[in-house]
Structure 1
């Protein structure tokens, strides 16, 4: 029997349909000599420290570091039923085809099951970039040998084990130190999340410390036809070329007012604005954050639904903006499908499917596991999509169709003038050929040409025709006082960009920048959104504002943690270099054992330095706000889950939990049952409320009507 091992049920159904496996079985689909089964993402998980040794359930300094001698996996309770199905099929299999997502994590999901069950037979790989029927059939006809993708598994297992070592040990270590300083929260440490938090903290600190300074521009008008800006001489300008002394600017005004200026440079060049790059995941997330204020996780989830549920787009977790030449034959089919949709029909009619933009590049695609995110050949029904799905799908369609339009072209004119000892410059751009801008004029960010991008976006003005040596009267000169501005707070889009391009960070030492340019940055396309969500859920960063203006800012505990940690743990350099090592494992230039030895040595060294006092992790003293529990009088502390709530410190004997209301436990009254308190609850109608006992699990069924916010008549006993 040939067993196809998929990542999720929907993926399994798509593969089964192409194979003709339509016989229903519990957790599988059968047909002929084939069986298709699936997990729900990871079926297995890393064992917890207490699974290795029950004594490790208690967090204590003397049990650190925790380094397993042999790594163990476990089957979570909610996955046991499906695991049994998978195990029974693998034990009968004569051949296995791994049909999980085509990336490192997908490889791990499949192969960790083979290892856990002890499967030793032949393995092939189904490599899918899209789940529409044509793409699945094409991939089935071109199965890869298993050994070709096996290094992805080694790298994925290395990532998982390194994360466990760092996370388990340093989270316990920092949380124990935090408790000594009065903090009750768990101070979570992660190989990627902690350096990401540091980026946010450093940005917030830079903003808080920023001192605005005035600077002065001088703008000259010439015959009312155009303005030009004074070029500050080196001896008068700061490092950014700004004039900081008003008297110097005013001197230029007095010397140039009413004088003649001479044209020293007049050049007009035709510029091609290159096609905007196709989307990969981070670029899509950044674009949607800027345009609609969507979070990174929202974009990932929606892109996954467009790929998996609707079959309208290709695999979303890509880091590549290019397409293989082999897919050029599919262009006409895709465009024909899009042309049937009214919103896209005019764009499709203007598309020349014979054009090949720079997105077609086999060499670039070969450097990645996936190609760019593009539409599939399936005809879309936009009415069946949510607003968020429609917006993201349309953006993907726009980028794709733009490739089949000519270059946009502009005439860019540069003008320089001299007035005495002073130079003035201006630039003007006039659009000559709209080209691909027919489709993307409403896109918002447009991502225009790499050539002269700033001039195209910022100087849409027409300049008169001038000749070098021509004299022009200076009709007006004025000083414009401006102020330096602090860096902007991160948004989800700009934080994703900073994570992916960590080498650009101002705080990265120069000797590491060249190395980091070659790495994948902080995290991967598939994990960055989850990292940001984790930091928010753990209370280290907060999302403030709404829509496009939503900002990410560090919390008090986030700043305290980064302030206490040594550079070895929080510096983005370290984790980016680790990611480079994982890439080396994929390329077979480093072994998994070598990588793990390095990680074990790193963790042991950090723990030893803290225990010996060589390394000081000092958190500022923290006094946590509390309120007395109405049942047992023990303190109640604020906690964060999906929402903020208040929990009694006497968890075992009391365990009362109350909602948060303006920074305090929600309104409550003691119940006559003596076991709980009556808590105000919303009824089925928004304007109706009732009071319900917190001890309902202990059998109290007392209910009361609401009487203007106070407990009213008893309605149940």
Structure 2
């Protein structure tokens, strides 16, 4: 019987697909059933070759090897994933496999993950595409019932490949050119560099800010606080004089401008909007929010596809709304009531096929989940999505806004009275109408407020994401990783929930090509990738432009007269070659590394605190390295000792314990003298009996 090979992006997704497809025989690399074999990638199994894999001379970091422009880009297996790739290749060549299904994430990068694999193993059999927006059993079954030929997604793959090649050309060449020129690891890219520039611009505005103190004049009335028109920043003397005049003035209502405002409920979140709200409310980074969302999608099947750039829904989802309300009825009494009444969506503008790309907005699935299984952070993200979804079933918020103008002598004041006519989705209360009439007299009291101008606020991930979205930098799927790379490369840092540029990042922006700093050129490149995805631009045209840009950018760096001061260079000297040591942040802590590229000296900046306890005072000891090798030292009492030989200090496993017990059991006592260990083991065995 012929079988279909299904390729998922992750083992966890493969497990769920296998369960739905009844492929219940599990092996190390795949699941198999009567009709399906389900295997998985581990994210990317392959990537574009690194420079030295094209030409041996490209291994050297010199200007002579730049720019690096491969005639044709090639892919290569990534380290440590070879076994899974080999297993997929063997499965694809089985005679009973007659076709394959790409079931990786339904997006640009998911397509690239799968197509790299099938291109590398030279798969010649029919290839189809599973395209779903949720991981529920119902969605999976419906998706497999409507598989599409993968040729329908050729433009998506071309866009993904073009993005990968462009990042290789610009990122590797520019970063290598900067590193060679300035003798420090300087990372630049077509998206990350203009993103960093946003943070630096805000930092510069804060540094140049000079506070100013001023006073404002307001009129306190029984109907509200009115503001002086035009609203002026006043000196203390002028404010006092004007306040005295206002208190001697009678005011009349000279105009009432009434407008009724209908405010519709907000649409469901897309990924970027959710990341912004989660950052503002819970201080989650963009990456943290995406990871939490991915778990809600894959593990719990409670929400739809995470990496969406749309806030709208397709019209075919209308028929699923009651089922989705039923699924969240345990979370919301409102949802339970509306489900029983088959309440329709009131905010019908959400259904718009023309505004949905690959995936629709983030909403709950039809899966009824056990919320007690979610951890606290997962529950926070789930609540944001569900609460936003419920707003679609509520009426517009309607207000009557009356702008009242008060005139007295030379002074004009205005205030706006808000009368809530219909609370709608805001769930507030109706308010009484304004009782003022035109021509009425109004008594008021002057109020002076002293204020100080405030500097611009530092960017948060929420506000930076908004900037990236505004200028078309990156995609919802890639923005979180871009921010993490800026932090990990030492160009940007997080302080609480605020972002700032590091001294290294500030210098990089001065050294890198101006065109790469501006968001305009990079945004145009992103728009070109979207055009490739839609079939409106040939990938070759885009890559030719990227090659030309690469040549220009490298040439500009080579000819630059600017200088660089390494902010991490210390006054400490390398004991091996005498060069200065540089501080380097790693996951294992801060290290001193030699600035000489031909020297491999490195040591910890601070001693490594271990779990090894001092035998005298029982504090944790630090691990140091001296002329005679490593040794433990207690920083409290000064006690030192050499580490035990790992071979002799290794803990016994169960097999070794069993052998030891057998050796010293009563049946095996042949030794003339019983050892203390044997006696202890015997005593323990007798106590247990």
| TM > 0.5 | yes
Matches of 1:364 and 1:684 in 2, distance apart?
66
User: Partner of 1:472 in structure 2?
Assistant: 442
User: Partner of 1:388 in structure 2?
Assistant: 377
User: Partner of 1:174 in structure 2?
Assistant: 178
Instruction: Judge conservation of contact 1:610–1:617 (CA < 8 Å) in 2.
Output: no
Per the TM alignment, residue 136 of structure 1 is displaced from its structure 2 partner at its CA by 0.7
Q: 2:67 aligns with which of 65, 69, 72?
A: 65
Per the TM alignment, residue 632 of structure 1 is displaced from its structure 2 partner at its CA by 8.3
Change (3 A) 1:419 1:325: same
Q: 2:469 aligns with which of 484, 500, 506?
A: 500
User: Partner of 1:657 in structure 2?
Assistant: 603
Per the TM alignment, residue 128 of structure 1 is displaced from its structure 2 partner at its CA by 1.2
Matches of 2:479 and 2:110 in 1, distance apart?
16
Q: 1:27 aligns with which of 29, 46, 54?
A: 29
Matches of 1:34 and 1:716 in 2, distance apart?
53
Matches of 2:335 and 2:612 in 1, distance apart?
50
SS at match of 1:625: strand
User: Partner of 1:453 in structure 2?
Assistant: none
Matches of 2:423 and 2:270 in 1, distance apart?
25
Farther off after superposition, 202-211 or 23-32: 23-32
1:325-351 deviation digits (Å, cap 9, x = unpaired): 21122122221121134xx23554367
Q: 1:624 aligns with which of 538, 553, 569?
A: 569
Change (3 A) 1:652 1:605: closer
Farther off after superposition, 622-631 or 308-317: 622-631
1:26-64 deviation digits (Å, cap 9, x = unpaired): 412222343222101111011111111222222111110
Instruction: Judge conservation of contact 2:399–2:419 (CA < 8 Å) in 1.
Output: yes
Matches of 2:220 and 2:252 in 1, distance apart?
13
**1:369 partnered with 2:358:** yes
Change (3 A) 1:633 1:13: same
Change (3 A) 1:716 1:17: closer
User: Partner of 1:647 in structure 2?
Assistant: 592
Change (3 A) 1:31 1:269: same
Q: 2:517 aligns with which of 539, 546, 570?
A: 570
Instruction: Judge conservation of contact 2:326–2:335 (CA < 8 Å) in 1.
Output: no
Per the TM alignment, residue 110 of structure 1 is displaced from its structure 2 partner at its CA by 1.1
User: Partner of 1:7 in structure 2?
Assistant: 9
1:558-613 deviation digits (Å, cap 9, x = unpaired): 001112223211111111100000011011111111100000001112222343x3
1:682-709 deviation digits (Å, cap 9, x = unpaired): 34799731244559xx9967545x2615
Instruction: Judge conservation of contact 1:321–1:359 (CA < 8 Å) in 2.
Output: no
Per the TM alignment, residue 273 of structure 1 is displaced from its structure 2 partner at its CA by 2.9
Matches of 1:636 and 1:620 in 2, distance apart?
14
Matches of 1:340 and 1:623 in 2, distance apart?
54
Is there any run of 5+ residues in structure 1 with no aligned partner, and where? 233-240, 442-455, 503-520, 659-664, 668-678
SS at match of 1:374: coil
Matches of 2:619 and 2:349 in 1, distance apart?
58
**1:109 partnered with 2:113:** yes
- Give TM-score scaled by structure 1 length: 0.83
Change (3 A) 1:358 1:556: farther
Matches of 1:153 and 1:73 in 2, distance apart?
14
User: Partner of 2:636 in structure 1?
Assistant: 708
Change (3 A) 1:651 1:602: closer
Per the TM alignment, residue 391 of structure 1 is displaced from its structure 2 partner at its CA by 0.7
Per the TM alignment, residue 227 of structure 1 is displaced from its structure 2 partner at its CA by 1.7
Q: How does 1:555-704 map to 2 (within 5 A)?
A: 555-611=502-558, 613=559, 615-620=560-565, 624-628=569-573, 635-642=580-587, 644-649=589-594, 655-658=601-604, 665-667=605-607, 680-683=609-612, 688-692=619-623, 694=625, 703=632
Change (3 A) 1:384 1:603: same
Change (3 A) 1:635 1:606: closer
Q: 1:327 aligns with which of 305, 312, 317?
A: 317
User: Partner of 1:213 in structure 2?
Assistant: 212
Change (3 A) 1:318 1:707: closer
Matches of 1:361 and 1:214 in 2, distance apart?
50
Q: How does 1:182-201 map to 2 (within 5 A)?
A: 184=184, 186-201=185-200
Is there any run of 5+ residues in structure 2 with no aligned partner, and where? 646-689
Per the TM alignment, residue 403 of structure 1 is displaced from its structure 2 partner at its CA by 1.3
Matches of 2:630 and 2:561 in 1, distance apart?
53
Instruction: Judge conservation of contact 2:574–2:601 (CA < 8 Å) in 1.
Output: no
Change (3 A) 1:560 1:651: closer
Instruction: Judge conservation of contact 1:5–1:97 (CA < 8 Å) in 2.
Output: yes
1:342-388 deviation digits (Å, cap 9, x = unpaired): xx23554367622331453233443x111111111222222211110
* RMSD after superposition: 2.8
Change (3 A) 1:106 1:684: farther
Per the TM alignment, residue 264 of structure 1 is displaced from its structure 2 partner at its CA by 2.0
- Between Structure 1 and Structure 2, whose CA radius of gyration is higher? 2
Q: 2:303 aligns with which of 306, 313, 317?
A: 313
Instruction: Judge conservation of contact 2:206–2:456 (CA < 8 Å) in 1.
Output: yes
- Give TM-score scaled by structure 2 length: 0.86
Per the TM alignment, residue 418 of structure 1 is displaced from its structure 2 partner at its CA by 1.4
Count residues in correspondence: 636
User: Partner of 2:160 in structure 1?
Assistant: 156
Matches of 1:523 and 1:616 in 2, distance apart?
31
SS at match of 1:218: strand
1:593-651 deviation digits (Å, cap 9, x = unpaired): 1100000001112222343x3x5444357682143567887654210223641134289
**1:401 partnered with 2:377:** no
1:484-532 deviation digits (Å, cap 9, x = unpaired): 2221101111111111112xxxxxxxxxxxxxxxxxx111001111111
Per the TM alignment, residue 7 of structure 1 is displaced from its structure 2 partner at its CA by 1.0
